[in-house]
Structure 1
């Protein structure tokens, strides 16, 4: 055989191989490549969606944290106001109670002063009677002179 015949047979075999490859081998490889490209595109799209959802979730988390911080700050402010109101009310009650105690102590002191004056009047009356007894050197009857002693107490 000559080189030209061999070359022509090789070209024919090559063309048959190319035709066979194009008809039977290339479509499954192209389909697999297309499927793989579609999966990769789908994965990239899913990654982009996930990235967007993550950004939205982060924004929502930040918003919820801000709301929580505001609520906590408001609760703390309310608690401080209530605590101050309770303290003020306790001070007011303590002041009222102190005023009552002072009034009761003052009333008791006044009552004791009146009682002390009465005792002092009685003692002065007794001393006056004893002094009068000593001056007159005679016994003074307290029952007879009760009116005199009453006027003496009133004057003292």
Structure 2
């Protein structure tokens, strides 16, 4: 199964940086910006997380929750949050079940090597739990502003 725009977003339960297990469906009634990223503490992922941090209040004003998902363990997420002052939850998808449900666990190539990993992607889910927008193979620069603009124009 792969997430499809216009359909109900695949639900999942993952450990979160607040020490609890979190289900996507826990956030029904709010808009959700769900972003998948490869790895904590790497340059692109840090820039993206800090951009979401910097626009956090704007998303909150639009009744939107930001959730970041990577295969990193919770203790690494906690260090990432502390180092960069991230005000939103990071979810640990070590078995890549959520990544697979959203079709972002893919074959990647880097310096001639092939491996499985997260394809940087963002999904917007409306208050009823329907997937309304996706960005795949995200380029970090300007992306968070684009996601914010979409939420502002289509879900507020």
TM-score using structure 1 length: 0.16
Q: Going by fraction, where is strand more abundant, 1 or 2? A: 2
Q: Which has the higher contact order (CA 8 A, sep 6+)?
A: 2
Which of 1 and 2 has greater Rg?
1
Q: Going by fraction, where is helix more abundant, 1 or 2? A: 1
